[in-house]
Amino acid sequence: MTFVHQNGVTALSDVSLSIEKDELVGIVGENGAGKTTLVKHINGLLKPRKGTVRVDGSDTRDVSTARLARSVGIAFQNPDHQLFSDSVESEITFALKNFGFEPSLIQKRLDWALGFFGLEEYRKSSPLILSGGEKKRLTLASILAWDPEVVVLDEPTVGQDAIQKEKLAEIVRMLHAAGKTIILVSHDVEFLWTLQPRLLVMKRGRVVGDGPCAEVMHDRPLLEGARVCQPQLVQLYDELAARPARPFLDVSEARAWIARDGEGTMRTRKGGS
């Protein structure tokens, strides 16, 4: 499918791909590559100029945006574009009420979301007083509260410290285990590397790479062409004279490999055994 902005700029050209139910997908590419434009097609915010987008079998042009919104939740990059209620509480319940949830369920979902995202103390506060990282968590809380089947997170780690990032990775793993379809748009290659999603690489409106994270992140020419950095552990792997068959998935794998020399003997303080 192809998408052309009103100003005539082609944001997506000839994109063809399918994402299965319960897949975990990451999308990388430089600013302006078309990542956000692509995900806006999934919940019908944008409709293709040419070609079709089908969600759960239905053409997004034939389904109301309200119905699509129920099954596809998108947390956009800039929370200021998304937050509009006068309290944290009503921000979270807004969609739940719109989707006609029972009041008792709304209460349960609200309590869960506030607790899970560490926003309990701000229940009655205006979203405007939250820090950047907290606002970001509020957008996630508002979306996960209504439990959509497809969850799209656009740059979820921006402004998050290490502890919040680990928590976010846990949430993604949990949603994935629960059978949700998850799409992560992110510049944070270290975060993606810890999750090992199927990875799409975008460049100037096209999908130029698509495959398992470990394979795609190891394809340096592809990534350099799309101006995407490799995770540190992959860079390290590429520079090692002796290395295992595939890149290290985490620090402990790299540690175990390096602590032994090429013959598998433990290295000592003097560098030999």
Partner 1 sequence: MAKNNPTTPLLRVQDLSFRYVETPRWAVDGVSLDVEEGTITVLAGQSGCGKSTLLRCMNGLIPHMYPGEYTGSVALDGSPVGSTRMGDLAQRVGLLFQNPENQIFMFSVERDIAFGLENLGLPRAEIRERVDEAMRLLGIEPLALRAPHELSDGQKQRVALAGVIAMRPRLIILDEPTSLLDPQTASELVSLVSSLRSRLGITFVIVEHRLELLTPIADKIVVMDRGRKVMEGTPSQVLTDPAARGHGIAVPPVSMLYADLRRDGVALPRVPATPRDLADEVNAL
Q: Please, which residue, 49 or 165, has the CB nearer to partner 1?
A: 165
In whole angstroms, the minimum distance from the beta carbon of 36 to partner 1 comes to 12
Q: Cβ(233)–Cβ(223) under 8 Å? A: no
- Assess 48 for contact with partner 1 (CB under 8 A): no
- Assess 258 for contact with partner 1 (CB under 8 A): yes
Which of these segments, 48-56, 145-153, 213-221, 226-234, binds partner 1 (CB under 8 A)? 226-234
| Options 56, 240, 244, 265; binder of partner 1; rule CB under 8 A | 240
Place of tokens 């939250």: 130
- Assess 190 for contact with partner 1 (CB under 8 A): yes
In whole angstroms, the minimum distance from the beta carbon of 240 to partner 1 comes to 5
| Options 11, 15, 29, 150; binder of partner 1; rule CB under 8 A | 29
Side-chain-side CA neighbours of 198 within 13 Å: the count stands at 15
- Assess 178 for contact with partner 1 (CB under 8 A): no
Phi, psi of 182 (to 5 degrees): -125, 130
In whole angstroms, the minimum distance from the beta carbon of 221 to partner 1 comes to 14
- Assess 61 for contact with partner 1 (CB under 8 A): no
Phi, psi of 184 (to 5 degrees): -110, 120
| Nearest residue to 203 (alpha-carbon basis) of 225, 231, 229, 183 | 225
CA dihedral over 164, 170, 171, 172, signed as positive or negative: positive
| Options 23, 89, 111, 261; binder of partner 1; rule CB under 8 A | 261
In whole angstroms, the minimum distance from the beta carbon of 232 to partner 1 comes to 4
| Options 97, 212, 267, 273; binder of partner 1; rule CB under 8 A | 267
Give residues with Cβ within 8 angstroms of 84, minimum separation 6.
91
Q: Cβ(80)–Cβ(135) under 8 Å? A: yes
In whole angstroms, the minimum distance from the beta carbon of 248 to partner 1 comes to 9
Cα–Cα distance, 144 to 146 (Å, whole number) = 5
Q: Please, which residue, 90 or 232, has the CB nearer to partner 1?
A: 232
Q: Please, which residue, 95 or 207, has the CB nearer to partner 1?
A: 207
Residues 84, 85, 91, 97, Cα dihedral to 10° = -110
Tokens coding 14: 């000839």
| Options 37, 43, 139, 164; binder of partner 1; rule CB under 8 A | 164
Q: Cβ(133)–Cβ(159) under 8 Å? A: yes
| Options 26, 127, 231, 247; binder of partner 1; rule CB under 8 A | 231
Give residues with Cβ within 8 angstroms of 241, minimum separation 6.
none
Identify the H or E element spanning 75.
Answer: strand 72-75
- Assess 21 for contact with partner 1 (CB under 8 A): no
Q: Which residues bind partner 1 (CB under 8 A)?
A: 29-32, 131-134, 158-165, 187-190, 227-229, 231-233, 235-236, 238-241, 251-252, 254-255, 258-259, 261, 267-269, 271
